[in-house]
Amino acid sequence: MFEKLELTRMAQALASHAGARMGVIARNVAHADTPGYKAQDLPTFGSVFKAGGEPMRATRPGHLSAGSAMADMHAENAPGREAPNGNTVSLEGEMVKSVEARQSHEMALAVYRATSDVIRASLGRPR
């Protein structure tokens, strides 16, 4: 039922993006001392979500094979200063990015909770 609502679909996509971004950040931190490693990051959620455009809506099961825009996320080299060993990972920068990703994930969960509360209230069910 929830997957049919645009708001919950967007919240799910935001949570997915935040989780994927945390994975990229963790990989960057793990390679902080690897010579020649280039830090990576994902494109912003807005650009990835808009890239999918407005999806076509299926009128019956199997009508369209829906491809997710979020499935097309690929890590790209992030800009940064290069250390003498060729590594571009900044631990301070990765900490800032991890906080941003955590906030995005928490926002997605808050939207999902609020939506479920509204639906429960409309059905006359208490929390």
**Structural domains in the chain (count):** 1
Report, as an integer, the average pLDDT of 41-47. Answer: 89
Who's near 61: CB < 8 A, 6+ residues apart? none
How far are the Cα atoms of 34, 52, 62 from residue 59, in angstroms, in the given order? Answer: 51, 19, 9
Over range 112-122, report the average pLDDT: 87
Q: pLDDT at position 2, please?
A: 56
pLDDT at 70 over 60: no
Positive or negative: CA dihedral 107, 112, 74, 57: negative
Containing structural domain, residue 53: 2-123
Return phi, psi of residue 54, to 5°: -80, 115
Q: What pLDDT was estimated at residue 94?
A: 95
Q: Is the pTM of this model over 0.95?
A: no
> What is the structure's pLDDT at 69?
45
Provide the β-strand partners of residue 77: 40
C-alpha 38/C-alpha 8 separation (Å) is: 35
